Amino acid sequence: YKRITVKSLVEMKQQGEKISMLTAYDYSMAKIVDAAGVDVILVGDSASNTMAGHETTLPITLDQMIYHASSVIRAVERALVVVDLPFGSYQSDPKEALRSAIRIMKESGAHAVKLEGGIEIKDSVKRILNAGIPVMGHLGLTPQSIYKFGTYTVRAREEQEAKKLLEDARMLEKIGCFAVVLEKIPAELTRVVSGELNIPTIGIGAGAASDGQVLVIHDLLGMTHEFNPRFLRRYMNLYEEMNVAIGQYVKDVKNKDFPNAGEQY
Ligand code: KIV
Ligand code: NA
């Protein structure tokens, strides 16, 4: 099979083929996700929550993102691998943003980076693009700004915010981003933005009109059973299945059932 490139994604949009994207943060999971045919693997800063147990995405560092990204890259043969620039690694000035993006590309071997925000980070995105590094945008609910908003509720319901989001999306396309994530915005706004842009939109909690969908792998597998937003479709209840399997192992050890005669040398 052919490797997915940033060009393939734009072609998928042109041909009306929806883009599938999922997160992965480590080698073993990335191997399974890639083999199952997911087009884009996102090494999201959601690793701060899922892998490290932080309440927000803010604490994860650039070094930690590079560790996750390089683990994923070693597993992937087909998917395009996009890595989040973590909070604090690009907001202070465009030069630092470029340095951070270069570190990710060089030290992990990733194919592209993702940054949260619109006009506020325009110069940084431009710099990174000028260095030949593909950039994915991220608008709507931007978890790195959680303390500015105070909640994880739906964004851009009001006209002013919706208008800014559309302008930001247009700007990101104009300066050369290859795709934009739209997180937790009304389905109708997703339809408008996706219709306006030639580059693909990838939605999460943003309805059916985006050119692709993204979910956090732990949510899709049902490993995070306390997280229940309306947009989430669970394809497994892995929390329960793992709990039963591990409980059985504990029992077998306690009962001296494991290992049995055939399971030793
Ligand atoms: O970090 C992440 O997982 C993300 C996706 C939810 C888009 O940014
Ligand atoms: Na993210």
CA distance 44 to 142: 12
Same domain, 102 and 79: yes
pLDDT tens by residue, 194-208: 999 999 999 999 999
| One domain, residues 131 and 45 | yes
The active-site residue, picked from 17, 77, 120, 183, is 183
- Confirm whether 105 is domain-assigned: yes
pLDDT score, position 186: 98
pLDDT, tens digit (0-9, with 9 covering 90-100), for 160-179: 999 999 999 999 999 999 99
Domain presence at residue 1: no
In a domain, residue 199? The reply is yes
The CA radius of gyration of the chain, in Å to the nearest whole number, is 20
Is residue 137 assigned to a domain? yes
Name which residue sits closest to atom 8 of ligand 1, judged by CA.
44
Q: Which residues are annotated as a binding site for 3-methyl-2-oxobutanoate?
A: 45-46, 84, 114
Domain that holds residue 257: 237-265
| Residue 183 annotated among the catalytic residues of the structure | yes
Q: Residue 143 class from Cβ within 10 Å (0-12 exposed, 13-18 middle, 19+ buried)?
A: buried
CATH number at residue 140: 3.20.20.60
DSSP bridge partners of 139: 182
118 lies in the same domain as 216:
yes
Whether 17 is covered by a domain: the verdict is yes
pTM listed for this prediction: 0.98
Q: Assess whether 141 and 245 both reside in one domain.
A: no
Residues 207 and 259 in one domain: no
Phi first, then psi, for residue 263 (nearest 5°) are -105, 25
Residue 225 has a pLDDT of 84
User: Which pLDDT score, from 0 to 100, does residue 226 have?
Assistant: 85
Atom of ligand 1 nearest to the CA of 45: 1
198 and 214 part of one domain: yes
201 and 212 inside one domain: yes
Q: Measured between alpha carbons, how far is 143 from 151 in angstroms, rounded to an integer?
A: 9
Residues 113 and 244 in one domain: no
* Number of domains, the chain: 2
Instruction: Give the position, in ligand 1's atom list, of the atom nearest the Cα of 44.
Output: 1
Residues 68 and 150 occupy one common structural domain: yes
Tell me which residues have their CB closer than 6 angstroms to ligand 1: 23, 42, 44-46, 84, 181, 183, 204, 214, 216
**Residue 212 belongs to some domain of the structure:** yes
Above pLDDT 70, what percent of the chain?
100
Domain check: are 125 and 247 in the same one?
no
Asked if 86 and 65 count as a contact pair (C-beta separation under 8 A), the reply is yes
* Structural domain includes residue 88: yes
Q: Are residues 52 and 150 in the same domain?
A: yes
Give this complex's ipTM.
Answer: 0.99
In a domain, 73, yes or no: yes
Ligand 1 atom showing the smallest separation from residue 181 Cα: 7
As a whole number, the mean pLDDT across the chain is 97
Beta-strand runs (E) in the chain: 19-23, 40-43, 80-84, 112-114, 135-140, 179-183, 201-204, 212-215
Considering the domain architecture, whether residues 180 and 89 belong to the same structural domain is answered as yes
**What are the helix (H) ranges across 74-158?**
94-108, 122-130, 146-149
